[in-house]
Amino acid sequence: MSVFAAPVLVIEQRSAALEYEIGDARENPLARGVQAAGERPRKGLLGRFGSGPANARVVVQVSGLDGAPLFFVDRAPDSPVAIVAPDGTLIGRFAEDAAAFARSHLEGRSRLPGGRSDFNQAQQLLDAGGTPLCSITWEPTYVGGVIDHAVGGRACAYTDPDGTELARMERARNQWSGDRYVLHLPFRLPDPLRTLVIASPIAFDLSRS
């Protein structure tokens, strides 16, 4: 099965380096991601504190099992993460949604006793021209009855501009030093949105390095 056709994808960082494996629901390998450019992550104990260098450009190449490139995920400092085709054409970007973040912050202050802060992390998937195609909203996680503001949360919903849910993703730590993402894709999305959604777990991971 192709990585573009699977209804469930498991994306896992397999080591402290920027190495990812993408599999189906049973974790049969479909594609792999490796760092193609940029400073290498720190080794040993220091590498446990992030997926990669925090203030440097890094590029991850995602390829099929035959080694043919499928797309690149390119993170540069202070810029949205770019998703790039094998021929170098920009497919789109993974960007923070500052407006949605601000709205949730203000709603939380008006809703919670004492005006305490409450907010949801949010991102957008943009096409090559900067038009929003999809919103990514992280659902709040509560620990002991108190909201946990750990970056990104544990689950998020992908919705189109009309509010229709297109996909969902869960996030958890794996046995290594990286993250594990389970992406549910109930619809056969058209490109470029399909590629952007599939690339988004790695884009998110790089944005939090």
Give the model's pLDDT for residue 18.
87
Q: What is the rounded CA–CA span in Å between residue 96 and residue 159?
A: 15
Concatenating the DSSP letter of every residue in 56-76 gives S-EEEEEEETTS-EEEEEEE-
Give the model's pLDDT for residue 33.
96
CB 66 within 8 A of CB 58: no
Give the model's pLDDT for residue 191.
94
Q: What is the rounded CA–CA span in Å between residue 93 and residue 83?
A: 6
Q: Which amino acid appears at position 171 of this protein?
A: R
Give the model's pLDDT for residue 14.
78
Give the model's pLDDT for residue 49.
42
Q: Which two tokens stand for residue 48?
A: 């446990």
Q: What is the rounded CA–CA span in Å between residue 48 and residue 52?
A: 9
Query: How confident is the chain (209 residues) per 10-residue block, as mean pLDDT?
Result: 93 84 94 86 46 72 96 93 97 82 50 49 92 89 55 80 94 71 94 97 87
